A = this chain, B = another copy of it.
């Protein structure tokens, strides 16, 4: 590629209704564009304290070890595993989708032994199976599970799984990347030990940061490790010299200043709305989305009791080219839906109602556009589908 032909990049305006990133509010984008200051600037250090308090609110925790990791959700995941798991440690890993599988990879790459408890994709983690695995394997160091599986849209019972881990003297490692801000995440009430989220889902910040929180007993375990954390970059014993709140912050790495401005603003918007109100908003629009989808004759992957409001896996009807539908939605309406991952590739769409994307406006547009496109692609156009027929006329097939 000739670099001389490259010009400034102007992204198209999209409506982000996939598995994340979600729509970012102009307030957050404006915050991100404020002038960069140094990572040891007194004004910035004061902002870091606020950011920590806002994260504690979002996680519903008083854990002092609460901070945004300077990387995406995967770096947050690795922070939890690399800090808590030492070579030879046994970890029960619950796998019911893509991200549980990634946890297993993390355990093994830390030199740990993964004891996998599998459940079918689209179903929650089976607490009884986890209990059996713990009973059969004495000395398990941690139980790891995904609260909200982004690949399927399933919620698992975090409170029960954390309690089970504690009963067996194990730490819990919990992925709340997709749940944080969208459904109740109650780190202290659950007694969760190492928890990581992502900035770009229900917090509606730009992607690239991973909030994490460690319980005091998990933090003590990290401080008392026999071996060094295998990642220098993610070693919380070092990171806390900067984020720990000491009067003098020690340089570890240069914080992603402007990204942190954005996270501060997005968390502030969550606090202004209130967590309970945000959870209620996600639940309400989810009910409307499902009603609309079912009225179109579409089915959901997940049973009602286990559905995440913010991530809706919708079965692709037989004979429909799922990618062609997504492409037309993107090209004509600017709407991004998610494809299925892994075993669900080609079989589901993933419709995100996350954070700012979870609004009556987005929902109504999405349903209407999807109905139109599906009608166009399945000849003949169904009787009585006035809007799709008219729209198809207008746009041409």
Q: Which residues of chain A have a CB within 8 Å of any CB of chain B?
A: 1-4, 6-14, 16, 18, 20-21, 23-24, 27, 29-39, 41-44, 47, 49-50, 52-54, 56-57, 70-75, 77-78, 82, 102, 105-106, 108-110, 198, 200, 206-208, 228-233, 251-259, 261-262, 264-265, 268, 271, 330, 336, 341
Partner of A57, one of B3, B9, B21: B3
- The CA-CA distance from A78 to B71 in the complex, in Å, is 13
- The CA-CA distance from A17 to B10 in the complex, in Å, is 30
- Also in contact, A9 and B265, with CB within 8 A (given A36-B206, A72-B70): yes
Partner of A38, one of B6, B38, B198, B336: B336
- Also in contact, A78 and B233, with CB within 8 A (given A35-B13, A41-B336): yes
- Also in contact, A208 and B256, with CB within 8 A (given A6-B53, A229-B109, A268-B7): yes
- Also in contact, A231 and B109, with CB within 8 A (given A7-B268, A258-B206, A259-B256): yes
- Also in contact, A271 and B3, with CB within 8 A (given A9-B47, A70-B71, A208-B259): yes
Tell me the smallest distance from the CB of A95 to a CB of chain B, in Å: 15
- Also in contact, A71 and B73, with CB within 8 A (given A47-B9, A254-B20): no
Say yes or no: B3 contacts A206, CB within 8 Å.
no
- Also in contact, A11 and B34, with CB within 8 A (given A109-B230, A230-B109, A253-B73): yes
Say yes or no: A21 contacts B78, CB within 8 Å.
no
Of A4, A33, A44, most B-chain CB atoms within 10 Å: A33
Say yes or no: A54 contacts B3, CB within 8 Å.
yes
Say yes or no: A257 contacts B207, CB within 8 Å.
yes
Tell me the smallest distance from the CB of A30 to a CB of chain B, in Å: 6
Say yes or no: B254 contacts A73, CB within 8 Å.
yes
Question: Would you list the 9 A-B pairs with minimal beta carbon distance, nearest first?
Answer: A208-B256, A33-B33, A1-B53, A74-B253, A206-B258, A71-B71, A29-B33, A74-B233, A207-B254
